[in-house]
Every structure is written in C-alpha cells, then in structure tokens.
Amino acid sequence: GNAERKNEAKNYNEVMSTLPKVKGLRGDDYYLYQGFWYAPFFLERLMSVQEHFHPQSTDIFVASFPKTGTTWLKALTFAIFTRSRLSGSTTSSLLSKMPHDCVPFLNYNLAQNPSNRDLTIPLLSTHVPYSCLPKSIISSCCKIIYICRDAKDAFVSLWYFHATLQRSKNVEPLPLEEAFELFCNGIANFGPYWNHVLGYWRASLEFPEKILFLTYEEMKKDTAAHVKKLAEFMGCSFTLEEEEEGEVQKIIGMCSFEKLSNLEVNKNGKCLLDISIPIPNSIFFRKGEIGDWANHLTPEMGARLDDIMERKLKGSGLKL
C-alpha cells in the first residue's frame, strides 16, 4: 500500500545518497548506478522494477536508448503482433492510441503499477541497459528486440526532445553545446550511449535466438525485410497468402512517420508516461530522418562523436 511505497522511496533515497553524481541535462543531478547515469525519477523506477517485476514467459521486450527509434519499433511490433485480429472492418488501435500507450514501458508505466498492461498482448518496452535489467527478465526465455541509431542523430533527437519539453514548461533549455559535452562524457539518462549499445550487442551475439539487434538506419533502408524479420523473430511470420495480399506493405504504411505523425491522437494527444508529466505525443515525432544531425552540429562536433563511438566500439564487431 501507500506506507510501503513511502518506505521504499526512503530506501531508494538512501541508496542514492551513496552514489556518485553529476549535474545532468535538465540541471538535475544524475547518479551513477551499476555503471549507468540516471536522473532520480528514472533511478527510483529502475530500482523498483529490479526488485518487483516479473515478466510472463511469452513477453517480448522492445529495448532501446531514448530517441533511437522506440516509437517506430513499438508501432511495428504492435501492428505485426495484432494483425491477425484485424480481419474485416476492425481498425488497429494504433490509429487511436499513441504507440507508447499500445506498448507500455517497464520503467515507467509498470514501475507505477505492474498490472498496467494488457495481458493478451505480450509486448513491453524498456530503456534499461541490458546489464541493469531485472534478473527475472535475464533469466527468463523472454525475447528482446533492441534498436539503436547513429550517435549524432540520437543526440540531436534527444536534445530537441528535452528542449521542447523544457520550453513547454517555460524553462530555458540547456544550450546544445553544453548538452553535447555531457553526452560525449557519457552523461545522459541510461548513458553512456556506447555502453548501452554494447551491452545489447554482446548479448545478441551470445543469445541470438533471444535478442534481435537492429539499427534505425537498416530499418529505414529496407523496412519490408525488417518487418518480415521481426515477425519471424516474434514467432508470427507472415504467411505466403498474407504477403501476396500486401500485408507487409500495409503495416509499413500504417507505422510510417507520415501516417503516425498526422493522426489526431499524435498531433494533439498527450501520453502519461508518468502521472507527474503528461507529455505531448507530437514531440515523439520530429523529423524521422537519417543524418539530420548535420543541420545542428558542426562537422567538428560530428567528427568528435564519431571518434568517440569508434574508439568505444572497437573490437566489438559493431560499426554504428
């Protein structure tokens, strides 16, 4: 009950007070916990799910660092999984619900209330790094689909997201240059970015049946091949008949940036990732392009981040 929650919050605060901290992107303190940085809001929820969360054995997780394609991947996995129910005139809930409301976040929605999910749809999502996932997930046979993206585009997307949120609260956002400096030092929620990527990359090499590793860029280049791959990985491959009927293209169209960003719910709705901050759905749809970083970062900044990524990923077999 309530008393328990208060007690728990107190314990988490005690743990937090022992952790290394720095000033982060929103002027908040960021805490270093199990090798990754978190604002208190995220850390409390992480500690809570690490302690309490138990998946169903059939659950499939969409995992990502923020701003690397989570919304798109949620829409695609949801559309793929629910397609067989949509025979006849029924339309997908993707048309009336924001993707984040179709596939709940482990570290927000479910941290608040573990029953905050539709048990008939085994899709959940998380930004938690692989090594920080609840043991109950690691030791389960749950599948994980991870998406990541060019670091420069991820950073620019992240900065815009924060800046837009801040301005909506009449707060002056952190200058891009300062945010960039933090990002290059690994400081961001769920960061360092490179360690987030590496954790899932290595796990996907070790457990290829369990973890599917994707990039935003590959998905953009050949969405159809990836939609089929996703379906196969999720255990609901497209039948020949479905392919002939254009089911793959239908799903791609429904989940496209153009389609989703123009829906009423995504233009004017808000989502409750946490009751304290209703977030306008529209800020999850900015541009949806590859390489937009070049319009916002100098070539020198770009080269610096490329260099950091290259050094950090060296020897891993991954090029991003």
Catalytic residue list: 127
What are the structure tokens assigned to 259, written together? 């389609």
Q: CA 159, CA 292: separation in Å to the nearest integer?
A: 13
> Which backbone phi and psi does 67 adopt, to 5 degrees?
75, 25
- Tell me if 174 sits within 8 A of 91, measured CB to CB: no
Q: How far is the CB of 285 from ligand A3P (least distance, A)?
A: 5
Those residues with Cβ within 8 angstroms of residue 315's Cβ, 6 or more apart along the chain or in another chain:
none
Judged by beta carbon, residue 48 or residue 157, the one nearer ligand A3P is: 157
Judged by beta carbon, residue 69 or residue 199, the one nearer ligand A3P is: 69
Q: How far is the CB of 147 from ligand A3P (least distance, A)?
A: 8
Tell me the CB-side half-sphere exposure of residue 232, using CA atoms within 13 A.
9
Q: Prior bond to 192 cis, omega within 30?
A: yes
Judged by beta carbon, residue 44 or residue 153, the one nearer ligand A3P is: 153
What are the structure tokens assigned to 69, written together? 């394609």
* Residue in the block written with tokens 């989570």: 70
Number of neighbouring beta carbons within 10 Å of residue 131: 16
Task: List residues near ligand A3P by CB under 6 A.
Answer: 64, 66-72, 75, 153, 157, 160, 255-257, 260, 284-288, 292
Q: How far is the CB of 108 from ligand A3P (least distance, A)?
A: 13
Judged by beta carbon, residue 33 or residue 105, the one nearer ligand A3P is: 105
- Tell me if 20 sits within 8 A of 30, measured CB to CB: no
Q: CA 274, CA 108: separation in Å to the nearest integer?
A: 6
Judged by beta carbon, residue 276 or residue 295, the one nearer ligand A3P is: 295
Q: Residue 271 pairs with which residues in a beta bridge?
A: 279
Those residues with Cβ within 8 angstroms of residue 91's Cβ, 6 or more apart along the chain or in another chain:
none
Q: How far is the CB of 134 from ligand A3P (least distance, A)?
A: 21
Q: How far is the CB of 75 from ligand A3P (least distance, A)?
A: 6
